[in-house]
Amino acid sequence: MKIFVVDNGGQWTHREWRVLKYLGMNTRIIPNTTPLKDLEVDGLVLSGGAPRVGVDSEKMGRNGEYLDEASFPILGICAGHQYMAQHFGGRAEPSGIPEFGKTQVFVDEEDELFLNLPSSFQAWLSHNDEVSELPRDFLSLAHSNNCKHQAMKHLKRPIYGVQFHPEVEHTEHGYEIFKNFLKVCEEMR
Amino acid sequence: MFDPSKFIDESVEKLREDIDGKAIVATSGGVDSTVAAVLLSRAIGENLLSVYVDTGLMRKGEGEQISKTLDQLGVNYEIVNARDEFFSALKGVVDPEKKRMAIGAKFIEIFERVAKGMGAEYLVQGTIAPDWIESGGELRDTIKSHHNVGGLPEQMELKLVEPLRDLYKDEVREVARELGIEVSERQPFPGPAMAIRILGEVTPESAELAREACAIVEQEIERAAADGEMELPWQYFASVLNVKSVGVRGDIRAYGYTVVVRAVQSIDGMTASYSKIPHEVLDRISIRVTNELNQINRVVYDITNKPPATIEWE
């Protein structure tokens, strides 16, 4: 399958590419200004990044276009997740207590994304902002002690967001989360 | 998964296509640059010169080690003594980014000089993914400018070739093992070397202090790991902090600097957790550092993960 990574300027964008490559995907890192019509893919990962989506969402390029018009599944990570919430009418704001490094994530809804995963696992994070209010038509899938929405999904479309970073080595079950997302991509082809 | 032998074949072929003429390869004696040198030698053979710059900032015993490594590799090499040049470029510089930029620029200046001397048009570097990722650019924030990326001038005379750009350390090690490179398991060591393990101004004296502190930490941790007291961390070293504190040495008041011990577990350097070193090992390090290094009054252990910290202090 062809799964590309949209580069929003994250420290771990290239890690997402590596995980997808290790899972046998045909993958590339593309600028977030790439028009959707140039993308013949089976799924997209919207990376995290330095932009604070609440204040400089213009730096998020065409992420909105992908979210509005794509017919394939999308997984937003960190800033990608926050932008997704804001774009669909929710809110992303500075975190009361931002999380850096190790955090325990608790799964509230197993869903496709956390299928066959333990109900809580250790994840690594690095974020100043977070989703404070879910958009309509979204379901919260997980939380941590300091962040209400560690993961979410669109109720009608194959669109997912995670605040933590499944692509880094220190996050437990990261590969399984990617595999679960890829399963959705496979089914949608 | 990653296939090192496929990677070797593809990179050698690509290097042959990319390089038409002579090339120099920036060599530090570490895993990344040694792998780059071997790949290059497979691609262009005699047309390469491996250049090691003695900055005066390297680890203890590095000078003797490097000629041995290069002899074993069987590649043409040159060792450039640039100690004075580096110390004068670093005089009065305390800001970590300025240090890194000054060092990067100095390296390039030297490489251009050597390349000109032998008529080489290409500079091959062992740059790996975290180097350019953390150096930032456009959307990506600059965490720290790696010497092989951030110090590059806008108008560079040499054509840059970086065969390991998409690899992380664990993958480079796999390639190194496949190539039979002896230094494949060597711990990572930053390009700016001791300069970023001295918080504050870099002088021959402060470099010596950091070098000695690092050597003690390396010796004690390696011995403890060999004795089965602990697992060998991914990276382990000391930094000298410009924080002074009061002590008492031989019934006399002392006012000296602080050494921080850092040891982490990681796979790729992009996330790291601090190593849970046994207190007995920390105790031995502390006693040796404060007894053997007169100017050090206090030893602390860094218990921060990456993120939010980075592995090195600067």
Q: What is the CATH classification number for the domain harbouring A143?
A: 3.40.50.880
Q: Which residues of A sit within 8 Å Cβ distance of B?
A: 7-15, 18, 22, 32, 49-51, 59, 100-102, 124, 126, 168-170
Tens digit of pLDDT at every position of chain B (314 positions): 899 999 999 999 999 999 999 999 999 999 999 999 999 999 999 899 999 999 999 999 888 888 888 898 888 999 999 999 999 999 999 999 999 999 999 999 999 999 999 999 999 999 999 999 999 988 999 999 998 898 787 788 899 999 999 999 999 999 999 999 999 999 999 999 999 999 999 999 999 999 999 999 999 999 999 999 999 999 999 999 999 999 999 999 999 999 999 999 999 999 999 999 999 999 999 999 999 999 999 999 999 999 999 999 99
Does B303 reach chain A within 8 Å, measured CB to CB?
A: no
- Look at residue A156 and give its three-state secondary structure: coil
Identify the active-site residue in A16, A78, A99, A154: A78
Identify the active-site residue in A87, A154, A167, A173: A167
Residues on chain A touching B308 (C-beta within 8 angstroms): 100-101, 126
**Domain range for residue A122?**
3-188
User: How far out from the chain centre does Cα B88 lie?
Assistant: 20
Task: Note if A167 is an active site residue.
Answer: yes
What amino acid is encoded at B23 in this protein?
Answer: A
So what's the ipTM on this one? Answer: 0.94
Distance CA B262, CA B301 (A): 6
Contact (CB<8Å) B141/A8: no
Residue carrying the six token digits 């007291």 = B229
Contact (CB<8Å) B166/A14: yes
Distance CA B105, CA B89 (A): 10
Annotate A115-126 with b (16+ C-beta within 10 A) or e (fewer): eebeeebebbbb
Shortest distance between the Cα of B143 and any Cα of chain A, in A, equals: 9
Total tally of structural domains belonging to chain A: 1
